[in-house]
Amino acid sequence: MKQKLCRIATLLLAAVLFSLTACGAPAEPISDELASIAENAAPGEATAPEERAPGESAPDEGETAVPGGEETAAAPEAESIPGTPAEVLAAYTAVMNKAKKDAKYFRKLEYQQIGKDSNFEAEWINHPAVLDAANMLMTTKDDGLKADMYTKGVTDMYADLPLYQFPVGCMVKDPGVFTRAVARQLPNGDVELTLVMKDENNPEPPAPGAKTSPSHTGEMFNPVSKAVVDDLLNGPIVRLGFWGKPPEISTRYFNCTSVLVYSPGTQRIVTLRQEYYVRINILSGKALGFINVAGYATAEGLTACDNFRY
């Protein structure tokens, strides 16, 4: 009887964790090139990096952490390499917006999964099999890299190229929201921009049709709205499983990183990688009225795009 109750509680917990993530869809075989992009950017071994204190940065040797408060500069000339954080942000915005407007086709691989970084008060929940139940509802890294889970080329820049459902690819105006914003020229002449966003609690995406976002994470990434999650948690299945008292949830997005490679001569995207981590804190909740599910898990995700056609 106890094992049966635990299995039911596991499914309820999986439903709660799944409600804080998005999932992909089956499609066509993955390309070697896109697999390489995804592997190079993958968080690695399903283990989230150690969280930093708010505002703390860890720039690579020879790179400088982003100072706050700079105003966004105009986009640099086509052949120039962005130098300041403001110039990096301006270049990223210009290239992303051009793709939103002019690109006709690109390929995208997307995955989300619950990683190994978790800790629940109920010891049995920490068992890998329990969190695997949540991953069964998602497109995980392993699933995403399988032949039948690759999203073939897409043509809807508005819906499928970040920012999703918006005509622009970036809403950030203040380079102070980044812990890193750096550029380097690759041996083939392309330019690589790396932008790492400051951590943020409970970020909200921009409202449909809006030109700004209530959170800095929502200005570049696509966080799941806590309001939407709360609505899902108040759905009939979860409410029934938690005896009318759904768990209280909070999220912390951290290490949200966007790496954009583009051709400076044409301002066209070569590759785009976005990766993120989400600490899902379950502050309270008792499945079946008595099984405590308080604790946390960490979700990780990645979007890799290539083969842009203009």
Give me the residue label for tokens 């308080």.
294
pLDDT at site 225: 86
- Judging by DSSP bridges, how do beta strands 178-185 and 200-201 pair with one another? unpaired
Flag whether pLDDT at 52 surpasses 60: no
Tell me which range, 40-49, 177-186, 225-234, is most confidently predicted by mean pLDDT: 177-186
pLDDT at site 219: 97
- Residue pair 269/305 in contact (Cβ under 8 Å)? The answer is yes
pLDDT at site 19: 57
Using one digit for the tens of pLDDT, what is the confidence trace for 213-243?
999 999 999 998 888 888 877 888 778 888 8
SS3 for 142-193 is: HHHCCHHHEEEEECCHHHHCCCCCCCCCCCCCCHHHEEEEEEEECCCCCEEE
Using one digit for the tens of pLDDT, what is the confidence trace for 90-145?
999 999 999 999 999 998 888 888 877 788 777 767 777 767 777 776 777 777 77
Report percent pLDDT > 70 for the chain: 71
Interatomic CA distance for residues 283 and 303, integer angstroms = 29
Mean pLDDT confidence for 186-192: 96
Report percent pLDDT > 90 for the chain: 42
- Provide the token pair at 244: 């009318």
Give me the residue label for tokens 């970020």.
203
Tell me which range, 65-74, 147-156, 200-209, 278-287, is most confidently predicted by mean pLDDT: 200-209
Mean pLDDT confidence for 54-80: 44
CA-based nearest residue to 30, from 114, 119, 111: 111
As a whole number of angstroms, the longest Cα–Cα distance in the chain is 69
Range in 48-57, 281-290, 298-307 the model is least confident about: 48-57
pLDDT at site 27: 38
pLDDT at site 41: 47
- Judging by DSSP bridges, how do beta strands 291-292 and 268-284 pair with one another? unpaired
Flag whether pLDDT at 162 surpasses 70: yes
Instruction: Tell me which of 268 and 54 has the higher pLDDT.
Output: 268
Flag whether pLDDT at 188 surpasses 70: yes
pLDDT band at 80 (very low <50, low <70, confident <90, very high): confident
CA-based nearest residue to 138, from 17, 236, 30: 17
DSSP string, 240-303: HHTTT-PPEEEEEEEEEEEEEEEETTTTEEEEEEEEEEEEEEEEE-EETTTEE--EEEEEEEEE
pLDDT at site 59: 42
Give the HSE-up count for residue 310: Cα atoms under 13 Å, Cβ half-sphere: 15
Mean pLDDT confidence for 15-35: 51
Instruction: Tell me which of 8 and 54 has the higher pLDDT.
Output: 8
Interatomic CA distance for residues 263 and 283, integer angstroms = 46
Q: How many residues does the chain have?
A: 310
Cα→Cα distances 16→21, 233, 285, 295, Å: 10, 7, 10, 12
